[in-house]
Amino acid sequence: MRISHKPRWLRGIAFTLVGLLSVFSFVTPSREASAGPGHGPCWWVWERSSSSGFWYRHLRCDPPLLVRLEWVDPGCIVCGLMIDWRQRIEDPAWLTRINQGIDEGLVDLGQAAFTQNPADRTRLRAAAMNSFGLAAYGLAGTPLGINAVGVGNPQQETFTPRNLPWLGAAAQDVVDGITILQTSGNQAAAAAQFDEAYEEISDQQVISG
Q: What is the pLDDT of residue 6?
A: 57
* Rounded average pLDDT over 84-104: 86
For residues 129-137, average pLDDT = 97
Contacts 24+ apart (CB under 8 A), 181-187: 181/132, 181/133, 181/136, 182/136, 182/139, 182/141, 182/143, 187/129
Residue 145: per-residue pLDDT: 92
SS (H, E, C) 154-180: CCCCEEEECCCHHHHHHHHHHHHHHHH
* Mean confidence (pLDDT) of the chain: 78
Average pLDDT over residues 188-206: 96
Q: Where does the chain have alpha helices with state H?
A: 92-114, 118-138, 165-183, 187-203
Is 4's pLDDT higher than 50? no
Quote the pLDDT of residue 9.
Answer: 54
pLDDT of res. 169: 97
Instruction: State the pLDDT confidence band at 16, using cuts at 50, 70 and 90.
Output: very low
Q: Which amino acid is at 156?
A: Q
Decide if pLDDT at 191 tops 60: yes
Looking at residue 17, its pLDDT comes to 32
pLDDT (0 to 100) of residue 56: 79
DSSP 75: T
- Taking 70 as the threshold, does the pLDDT of residue 136 lie above it? yes
Q: Provide mean pLDDT across the span 155-172.
A: 86
pLDDT level of residue 58 (50, 70, 90 thresholds): low
Ramachandran region of residue 62, left (φ > 0), alpha (ψ -120 to 50) or beta? beta
**pLDDT of res. 59:** 53
At 116, is the pLDDT very low, low, confident or very high (cuts 50, 70, 90)? very high
| Mean pLDDT on 114-139 | 97
Band of the pLDDT at 7, cuts 50, 70, 90? low
